[in-house]
Amino acid sequence: MDAIRKCCAGLDVHQESITACILNSPLDRKPKPLIKNFGTTTRELLQLQDWLAENQCTEVAMESTGVYWKSVWNILESSCKLTLANPAHIKNMPGRKTDIKDAQWIAQLHRCGLIQASMVPPQDIRDLRDRTRYRQKLIHMITSEKNRIHKTLQDANIKLTTFISDLFGVSGRALLEKLMDGEVLDEEQIRSLVKTKLKRKVPQILDALNGKVRVHHREMIRMHMNSILFLEEQVEQLEQSIQELLKPYQKEVELLDSIPGIDLDAAASILAEVGPDMDLFETEAHLASWAGICPGNNESAGVKKKSKSRQGNKQLKSMLCQSAWAINAKKDCRITSFFHRVKRRRGEKKAAMATAHLFLRIIYRILSDKVGYQELGSHYIQDKKERTVDQLKKQIERMGYVIQLDRIQAS
């Protein structure tokens, strides 16, 4: 392997220790490794920084080991040019697994330029990412608590969900509050609690409330409701902090919000995952590969075989697939038309993944060109085919031929 760096270092990072290896020699000579072990406290990481500076080493590579790499990155970021490597891409040969050998292997790969750097966004984007991911986690926890209330109501033979589509709306919560207090409601009381169209279902709701509610059920529902209220308050606080972090990126958020199927919350999550700078990715295909929203490579003897989508950014993939399902019912939209066209051939799930891939390509172009989404309409693909046919027809006519086009009727 030909060396391209005169001096570089490889770090094997663990929870309690770091093994560092420096390779320093002319490019045409084999370097003698300089190895030293360090701890992971801030004081010991500063010692690592000083040791690298003493040896005039500013090119450093390390594995993205869990969350342990972050403390090292935070200390060395200001003084070194860091490269974060995916552990799956730099595995050593079997039988050569020690901390020292791992550090030497990482340093050797980095010296030869064989490590593909993982994307590490700026500090403010990393902070935004922590908050958007935690918000999503809290929303999942709220959903779990709501499901537990549904389960408790069924156990108590309370059939409110048969007549109320959103049990945790204004009307549903008012009824749950009375149920937790142990009150027995009549039709007039129910009519005063429910809103809008539910007033026409008062007799059915009264019948649905006639169950076998014990003190145990009321206490369980009360605990779950308290958890929901607490989590909703946490989400509201997170929303405020996310909005503060998004202030420098309002233009990017507005550009993403212009895409059908992507609301402000989704735009914030997408921006937190991919960052505002698309120069980090060579093409839209590289972005799709990094996100894992593309087919895996499985080809042998010239035959391409079916394969799952490759591993990538789970949060981004989940958010884009949710947006794909959300746009399913939108009318006169090119993305919706694309979803249904793929759905007819490959089914709903593959259509959702293909639409997520389309979303990501659009996001790449929008953030690269700083131009909002332009709706082409649901007939864009058909119009494009017709334009192509017209262009080909004119080319043939310019060559001196007369051509008549007849559409083949689909059987």
Q: What is the pLDDT of residue 307?
A: 72
pLDDT at residue 35 tops 90:
yes
- Write the burial class of residue 107 (CB in 10 Å: 0-12 exposed, 13-18 middle, 19+ buried): buried
Residue 201, φ and ψ in degrees, nearest 5: -110, 20
Residues 6+ apart with CB under 8 A from 315: 132, 133, 136, 269, 273
Average pLDDT value over all residues in the chain? 90
pLDDT at residue 140 tops 80:
yes
Maximum Cα–Cα distance for the chain, whole Å? 91
Report residue 109's pLDDT band, with 50, 70 and 90 as the boundaries.
Answer: very high
Report residue 356's pLDDT band, with 50, 70 and 90 as the boundaries.
Answer: very high
Return the structure tokens found at 278: 């698309």
Stretch 232-247: mean pLDDT, rounded? 96
Show the CA angle centred on residue 342, arms to residues 340 and 348, nearest 5°. 75
pLDDT at residue 40 tops 60:
yes
Q: Which residue has the higher pLDDT, 56 or 401?
A: 56
Q: What is the pLDDT of residue 394?
A: 85
Stretch 297-314: mean pLDDT, rounded? 77
Q: Which residue has the higher pLDDT, 406 or 214?
A: 214
Stretch 66-95: mean pLDDT, rounded? 90
The domain defined by 7-111 folds into Nucleotidyltransferase; domain 5 (3.30.420)
Q: Which residue has the higher pLDDT, 310 or 164?
A: 164
Stretch 236-245: mean pLDDT, rounded? 96
Look up tokens 């010239």; give the residue: 302
Stretch 242-249: mean pLDDT, rounded? 95
Q: What is the pLDDT of residue 409?
A: 64
pLDDT at residue 378 tops 80:
no
CATH number of the structural domain 124-247: 1.10.287
Q: What is the pLDDT of residue 388?
A: 83
Stretch 299-310: mean pLDDT, rounded? 75
Stretch 257-281: mean pLDDT, rounded? 93
Q: Can you give the residue ranges of every domain in the chain?
A: 7-111, 124-247, 249-297+309-369
Q: Three-class SS string for the chain?
A: CCCCCCEEEEEEECCCEEEEEEEECCCCCCCCCEEEEEECCHHHHHHHHHHHHHCCCCEEEEECCCCHHHHHHHHHCCCCEEEEECHHHCCCCCCCCCHHHHHHHHHHHHHCCCCCECCCCCHHHHHHHHHHHHHHHHHHHHHHHHHHHHHHHHHCCCCHHHCCCCCCCHHHHHHHHHHHCCCCCCHHHHHHHCCHHHHHHHHHHHHHCCCCCCHHHHHHHHHHHHHHHHHHHHHHHHHHHHHHHHHHHHHHHHHHHCCCCCCHHHHHHHHHHHCCCHHHCCCHHHHHHHHCCCECCCEECCEECCCCECCCCHHHHHHHHHHHHHHHHCCCCHHHHHHHHHHHHHCHHHHHHHHHHHHHHHHHHHHHHCCCCCCCCCCHHHHHHHHHHHHHHHHHHHCCCCCCCCCCCCC
Q: What is the pLDDT of residue 410?
A: 52
Stretch 16-37: mean pLDDT, rounded? 94
Q: What is the pLDDT of residue 380?
A: 66
Q: What is the pLDDT of residue 411?
A: 46
Q: What is the pLDDT of residue 89?
A: 85
The residue length of the chain stands at 411
